[in-house]
Amino acid sequence: MEQKEREHKTEVEAMTNNRAMLEAKLAKYSSELKSLKNTLQREQELSGRLRESSPIGLVGSERQPETVRRETYAALNVPVVDAKLQGRVLVSLRASLELVTSFATQLSTLHSYLQQRCKTYPIDTSTGVQISTVNQKLCKLLHSSSSSYTKPLVSAFSQYSGKLHANPYSTPTGSSDLMEFALAHRRLVAYLDTLTPYLQISLQEECGESVCGVQLTDINMQISNTLPRLVAAFSTADNYLSLLARGPVEGVSVASLPVCLQRLKISIRDLHSVLEALHNLYSSKI
């Protein structure tokens, strides 16, 4: 009997100790739960105050990856801040300025070469005067290329790029500087459209000369067929550039901006492909 009483007493003591431990844990968990509830309540209060203080209520659990809803900011004329995006834009601008400058230089070089060729071929050897009236007109058109079209193009883009570097918070699209570049680009496209028929006729006249062999004739015909593709590629890029320059009100909406930029990118790739083909053809001709 005494043995059983001792065992019972030991069991009661163990249960009492376990109960004390459980009560201590329960008190600890209750304290932590109360603290968490207070923290959550405080966070909700602060979030509510922040929403009330924000004029457009952009802060919340469903916040967009861009941190702000660009459409709402655009409506309020508040600049959107995205440091990573701005960094990429500035890098792209520097590369674009180099490409535009290089393109203008190479185009001026090509036009200078064509002008010299038109002056000397075909020519009346007895008088030293050009035989072709088309080439005479073509020389005048080519002479105005650099000063009237390529230089203004580089100048306009350089000014646009410089303004964005000076003020990275400004909007890349819809600015007056981008519009100036778009207008300079459109004037260049119109100039190339005017120039192309004269170039094609000049190539045909060259093929009619007795000194023009089969290989040169084939190259000339390939150049003649590629020139309209060049103007078409320029025109396609010009359309998207013009939309970007007009901004979200008259041109491209904020929602459609990624699509427009992607299509502009594709058109520039097509333009590069045509320019590369012309480069190879003229290199073969030289």
Pair of tokens at residue 189: 């496209």
160-192 pLDDT, tens digit each: 888 877 876 666 676 788 899 999 999 999 999
205-228 pLDDT, tens digit each: 888 887 788 999 999 999 999 999
Q: What is the pLDDT of residue 274?
A: 93
Q: What is the pLDDT of residue 232?
A: 95
Does the pTM of the predicted model rise above 0.75? no
216 Cβ neighbours under 8 A, 6+ residues apart: 206, 207, 285
**pLDDT of residue 248 exceeding 50:** yes
**pLDDT of residue 258 exceeding 60:** yes
66-88 pLDDT, tens digit each: 544 555 555 555 555 566 767 77
Distance CA 269, CA 265 (A): 6
- Cβ neighbours, 10 Å, residue 63: 11
Q: What is the pLDDT of residue 152?
A: 93
Distance CA 158, CA 160 (A): 5
Distance CA 246, CA 222 (A): 37
DSSP letters for 270-285: HHHHHHHHHHHHHHHH
Inter-residue contact 217 to 265 (CB < 8 Å): no
Residue 236 confidence class, pLDDT cut points 50, 70, 90: very high
Sign of CA dihedral 261, 266, 272, 274: negative
Q: Which residue reads 């459109």 in tokens?
A: 186
- SS3 assignment, position 129: strand
**pLDDT of residue 122 exceeding 70:** no
Question: CA nearest 264: which of 143, 178, 171?
Answer: 178
